[in-house]
Amino acid sequence: MKKRILLFWPNTSNRGRITLSIPILGGIAKNMGWETQYFDTSFYRKSDDSFIDKEKTGAFKPVKEEIQLEVKSANNIVLDLQKIIDDFQPDIIAITGMTNDFQYMMTFFPQLNIPKETVVVFGGIHALHESDEILNTGMIDLSCFGQAESIFPEILKRVEHGRNLKDIPGTSYRSTLAQEIHTTYVERALSTEEIWETEPDYSFYDDKYYSYPFDGKMVNMFWLEVGRGCPYNCTYCEAPQLRSLYKGKGRYVVTRPIDSIFNTVKNILKERTIDVFNITHECFLSQPNVWLKEFCRRWKKEVGKSFLIQTRTETITKEKLDILQTSGAPIIQVGQGVESGSKRILKFICNRRTNIDAVVKSYKILNERGFRTNAFYMIGFPTETREEIFETIDLCKRIDSDIDSVSIFQPYPGLPLTKMCVDKGWMSGNEIIPSFTEKSIINQPSISPYEVSNLRRVFLLYAKLPNQYYRQVKICEDNPQNTKLFNKLIKHRWELSK
Ligand code: B12
Ligand code: SF4
């Protein structure tokens, strides 16, 4: 009889999304002859909804004809998941998650009745630093911090043959008898061919998972993985932590083979209409020009749709932009993590040697050449002051990007900035990490969490409205309950936008 696996993602948002690891896990399981089912918490009501928040705070243009997706009560999660477990009787429950996902999952997972013989495994970025926390819940047998492409086939083989799960490289295992945790470190980084050998399986997803707001409309969006890893060392990001896991064990920063990329694109376009591809690569334009030329040549010939990329200022050159424009894509959106307008914050807190004038110039060039632009900012960094946040607001004014995303810095496990906050006594390290739209949990002398939340809410009003609105925006900043004036100013922000 076929073995059965239930894949599970405790999504913290009210909107469906294809998290990249699930199709990877599904593809591997399917290839190995396992019967698969998938469950996620996307369409169950949660208080946090970053999309609604982004519309409210003027980051996303309001979508007029947004389809209201049916969202069930959160009370149904346990009932629905328990029913799947009872009916499907999985041999394995495989969960993927970031820190927020894991913390959210623990609000309902303990209420489930999972048969003793079902193996429960958790993998993803949260496992990188918090395997002990994961295993100490007593509900999870294996915490996977390495790459699924090497770990997952081994887990499936062992469960199939009734062998124990100890000693799989890239995992921590809790022995049921001794209650001890054994960690086995990764042995080597996989080659690009090994990573993308198995075609991801997207069959779990219906239309709801593709529908996204984009430029005031709902479009069908597909997240396309094109590379993994980043060579930089920003102190608020997990990318350097992931890279250091593989130090001396091979290349972790890799680009997906072009044939594999276009194979996935071809398969998805056979199945459904996609309007916009969201390319997942931490720094897309860092690819050599030869690679970019070939990518754009094939994009024009085989796809021709709009796409979004993320890149760093240093990589934005005239030559690379010329190449991008050979792709035939109607809209190319270029996003950059600008983060802060303060030289001190960038250099001494974020470990970024950014030249702010070069960032401004890069947006000017992108805007002049007809690229759609996106800028990511963060506030509430450790030691940051109100004046420094205003330097970021001023930078946002100068940059004049088409879309801007403003996040509150969150101290995720294992980051150098989190260690700094714990060492200074500004947090304990055991807090529940809120969403990046919600609030700061750093109790630091330079700025209060309350002021950070208020500044985030009105950040784009300060940045996008002319200076004569300063007093009205300040009223909104100081009075979160004054939604009438706030909504009026947000509306006006869009009336004035390009
Ligand atoms: C692309 C991306 C996004 C995209 C996601 C696109 C998509 N369709 O999934 C978007 C922009 C939507 C996004 C949103 C957010 N993101 Co993000 N994102 C990333 C990024 C750059 C890459 C993630 C990725 O997909 N990698 C490729 C996949 C395949 O890798 P993976 O998920 O890690 O899975 C691999 C392994 O972990 C393992 N694995 C994973 N699960 C499992 C399960 C099992 C059983 C096994 C065996 C193995 C396994 O195998 C996989 C393949 O090798 C990372 C940075 C990074 N380098 O990881 C940040 C990152 C994951 N994001 C982060 C955060 C915080 C967020 C947000 C919460 C808020 C934000 N923007 O700051 C929101 C979440 C919103 C929500 N509720 O969903 C943090 C997470 C930190 C943490 N400790 O939790 C990261 C690490 C960036 C950072 N700040 O350092 N993100
Ligand atoms: S450049 Fe981006 S992905 Fe790379 S370390 Fe910095 S924030 Fe992370």
Same-domain status, 176 and 308:
no
pLDDT tier, 59 (very low <50, low <70, confident <90, very high otherwise) = confident
Interstrand relation of 4-9 and 35-40 (parallel, antiparallel or unpaired): parallel
Residue 65 is predicted with a pLDDT of 56
Residue 214 is predicted with a pLDDT of 86
Question: Within 10 A of 52 (CB to CB), how many other CB atoms are there?
Answer: 15
Query: 48 pLDDT exceeds 80?
Result: no
3-state helix, strand, coil in the chain (%, to 5): 40, 15, 40
Boundary (domain end) residue, out of 184, 206, 236: 184
User: Tens digits of per-residue pLDDT, 413-470?
Assistant: 999 999 999 999 999 999 999 988 889 999 999 999 999 999 999 999 999 999 999 9
Whether residue 458 is contained in a domain is answered as: no
Is the Cβ atom of 237 under 6 angstroms away from ligand 2? Answer: yes
Same-domain status, 159 and 207:
no
Residue 50 is predicted with a pLDDT of 64
Same-domain status, 167 and 214:
no
Residue 381 is predicted with a pLDDT of 98
Distance 161 CA to ligand 1 centre (A): 31
Mean pLDDT of the chain: 94
Distance 125 CA to ligand 1 centre (A): 7
Is the Cβ atom of 338 under 6 angstroms away from ligand 2? Answer: no
State mean pLDDT over 288-308.
97
Same-domain status, 174 and 199:
no
Is the Cβ atom of 238 under 6 angstroms away from ligand 1? Answer: yes
Same-domain status, 140 and 205:
no
Query: 34 pLDDT exceeds 60?
Result: yes
State mean pLDDT over 138-160.
96
Boundary (domain end) residue, out of 167, 184, 201: 184
Q: How far apart are CA 352 and CA 370, in angstroms?
A: 28
Same-domain status, 364 and 236:
yes
Distance 283 CA to ligand 2 centre (A): 8
How many domains does one find in the chain?
2
Same-domain status, 129 and 273:
no
Query: 25 pLDDT exceeds 70?
Result: yes
The CATH number linked to 66 is: 3.40.50.280
Same-domain status, 201 and 230:
yes
Same-domain status, 408 and 294:
yes
The CATH number linked to 269 is: 3.80.30.20
Is the Cβ atom of 339 under 6 angstroms away from ligand 2? Answer: no
State mean pLDDT over 392-416.
96
Whether residue 465 is contained in a domain is answered as: no
User: Tens digits of per-residue pLDDT, 218-268?
Assistant: 899 999 999 999 999 999 999 999 999 999 999 999 999 999 999 999 999
Whether residue 404 is contained in a domain is answered as: yes
Ligand in nearest proximity to the CA of 283 = 2
Same-domain status, 370 and 439:
yes
Distance 19 CA to ligand 2 centre (A): 19
Of all atoms in ligand 1, which is nearest to the CA of residue 407? 72
Residue 57 is predicted with a pLDDT of 79
List the one residue out of 30, 16, 447, 401 whose CA is nearest residue 221: 16
Q: How far apart are CA 147 and CA 424, in angstroms?
A: 34
Residue 498 is predicted with a pLDDT of 57
Q: 6, 98, 194, 374: which to mutate for ligand 1, most atoms within 8 A of CB?
A: 98
pLDDT tier, 70 (very low <50, low <70, confident <90, very high otherwise) = confident
Boundary (domain end) residue, out of 133, 162, 184: 184
Whether residue 459 is contained in a domain is answered as: no
Q: How far apart are CA 121 and CA 281, in angstroms?
A: 27
Same-domain status, 15 and 103:
yes
What are the contacts of 165-173 at 24+ separation with CB within 8 A?
165/119, 165/121, 165/141, 168/142, 170/144, 170/145, 170/146, 171/142, 171/143, 171/144, 171/145, 171/146, 172/127, 172/131, 172/132, 172/134, 172/135, 172/142, 172/143, 172/145, 173/135, 173/141, 173/142, 173/143
Q: Which two tokens stand for residue 408?
A: 């509150």
User: Tens digits of per-residue pLDDT, 256-268?
Assistant: 999 999 999 999 9
Distance 83 CA to ligand 2 centre (A): 41
Residue 278 is predicted with a pLDDT of 97
State mean pLDDT over 162-190.
90
Q: Which two tokens stand for residue 275?
A: 């309007």
Query: 55 pLDDT exceeds 90?
Result: no
Domain that holds residue 276: 192-444
Residue 14 is predicted with a pLDDT of 82
Same-domain status, 202 and 236:
yes
Position 445: which residue type? P
Residue 2 is predicted with a pLDDT of 87
User: Tens digits of per-residue pLDDT, 278-290?
Assistant: 999 999 999 999 9
* Minimal-distance CA residue to ligand 1 atom 57: 239
Largest CA distance in the chain: 72
Whether residue 78 is contained in a domain is answered as: yes
State mean pLDDT over 65-93.
88
Distance 357 CA to ligand 2 centre (A): 19
Whether residue 104 is contained in a domain is answered as: yes
